[in-house]
Structures are given as C-alpha cells and as structure tokens.
Structure 1
Amino acid sequence: MELRLALIALLLLSATAVRAEVALNPLFADHMVLQRGIAVPIWGTAAPDEEVTVSACGQAKTATADAEGKWMVRLEPIDETEPFALTVTGGNEIVLQNVVMGDVWLCSGQSNMVWTVGNSVNGAEEVAAAEYPMIRLCQVTRVTATEPQDAVKLTWSVCSPQTVGGFSGVGYFFGRELHQELGVP
C-alpha cells in the first residue's frame, strides 16, 4: 500500500508543470534612471513561450519569451518628470519603485574614477550638501570573467548625504553640474 501511494505521489509531482519566474536583467531595479526621449528597452527572462507584460505611466507592452526564455519590450518614450513605478507581470509580478526618466551617463576609467566624493577636496562639506534625490548612481560590482556576461551585479543609489560619500567624485560632480543645468535626473 505504501509503495502504491508513493508511486501515485511521484506521478502527480512529475506531472506538475515546471515554471520559471519572470525575472528582469539586474540593470533594472528600484531607484534606476531610464534614458528620456527614446523608446525604452526592458528585458529579462521567463519560461519559454511565457507572456510578459511591462507597464509604466499608462502604457503596457507585452512580449513572449523565446525558446531560451529571453524576452524584451520597448516602452514608448516616457515624458514623466516625477518618480514612478514599473510593473512586470507574467507567472509572477515584479514592481520597481522610484524609477525616474533622465539622462544616463556612463563614467568609467582608472584610479581617477574611483576617487570618492568623501575623499575630494572639501569632501565633508560636499557630502553634507548632497541633497539631490534625482541624481542616481549605478555601481557595478567589479568581477573578472573569461566569457561575455549577460548580467552583472549592481546597485542603484539615490544621492543623499548618507550615500554620496562613496560615489565616484568625477561622476558625482559631472552629474550634479548636468542636473543643475538641465533640471533632469
């Protein structure tokens, strides 16, 4: 009798569909900045053939994951000037908060780029005055890889006296100047 119950349980468990959760590329996270003025690509993974819908600011776009589980949508240009939520739905739901539209700049280099705001001339004063919640920093974790990577570990931070001390000084002062001049994140 126990063997029979075990076989029935095994049969039922094996018949259960395996479903991958919808996931975003790690680039997309709370507090991110998306480039303004363009169709915005959003991508990630899901179960093959799963429908994924991305919604933000009154628009929704749907894609179907390919055989490898990859999907991508392009949102029409978003004219929103205030932070908003971006929702991704499929077999599960992901809601990203405090997303802003602005200008995305990549700052990269050697030792000059890792010199922090806190270590800059008048660093303590600069840190104390850094009340710029529309300036964001995306910090990519440095790793060595022998193969191309589809995703990297990173964090998005909102600029404040509590976070800016570790920002790249060059990146921060450049971003602050642009933000003050253009008035966008």
Structure 2
Amino acid sequence: MISLARLLLVPVFAWLVAEGHDAWALVVLAVSGASDWLDGVLARRMHQVTRLGQMLDPAADRLFILVTLVALAWRGIVPLWLVVVLVARDVVLAVMLLVLARAGYPPLRVHLAGKAGTFAIMYAFPLLLLSEWPSAVGIAAGVVGWACALWGVGLYWFAGALYLTQAAAVMHADARASRATRTP
C-alpha cells in the first residue's frame, strides 16, 4: 500500500514542479523518501515481504527518479546529461531483466551499492530543487546536492556493473551445468 501511495504521488510531484510550487514539491519528495524507507522497514519487521511489494517498490523508485529528473531538467535545474546517464543505466538493466526473465530466471537480489546509489540520487533531488532558492541555504543545498548526485551516479553505475556481472555468472553457471548433464 505504501509503494502504491508513492506511485500516486509521482504525478502530484510533477505538477507541483511544473507549476513552480517548489516548497510543496519538496514536501512531496520528503514524504516519498520517508515512505520508501518506512515501507522497507515495516515489510522486514512484520515479515510481510511480498512479490508485489518487491516489484512495486523499485518501480516506484525508478518512476520517481525519472519524473524528477525530467521535471528538474525541464526547469533547467539539472543538465540533460544527468538525465541521459541515469536513464541509460536503467534501460541497460531493464534489458538485462528481460533477458533473465525470458531464460526463466528470477530478478537478481538488490546490492547495497544499488540502494546507496538510489538513496544518494533521491537525496540529491530535493537539495537541487532547494538550490534554486536565492539564499545561503540555496547555495549550500546546491553544493551538497551536486555532491550527492555525482556520488549517486557513480554508485548507480557501479551497482549496474555488479548486476550485469551477477546475471552473466548465473546464466554462465546454468549453461555449464546444462552442458555437463548432456555430456555422456
């Protein structure tokens, strides 16, 4: 339910940014981030991890990241290269997941590097939005926001490389086992 609520906040956030309601957009981002954390904590503590939740949570994360990136780029707060770099990683991993699914493999386990990269990127967005405010707070938010964004990009791609390596190892090990059972 929490992930579904986060998905419903995505168009609200997009509208707020498009209309220039930055303070309310910051509130929505903060609520989304806090609810993402709370969702994971509650699911683990209450032993209510579900397959639907495992699919909705990263979907909500990816959609929020995409919409936020596009909205911030549209407003000129972040450059287009940041959008391209982050979206390209997600496209590469989406193709990898399709290949794995077609071969009958489940989605891969999430790495800490992926969680850290997503956290850094999602932490950067409200700071970068706050950097638009003409004050010392805006300047400080911009510096910290860009530091988080750049670390997040690095961690995001590092995690992507880990996922690709893990997928290749799983498929290679399975192919090797399959060849071994066919050899007389």
TM bracket (short chain): under 0.3
Taking structure 1 as the reference length, the TM-score comes to 0.23
The structure with the largest helix share of the pair is: 2
The structure with the largest strand share of the pair is: 1
Tell me which structure has the larger Cα radius of gyration.
1
Taking structure 2 as the reference length, the TM-score comes to 0.23
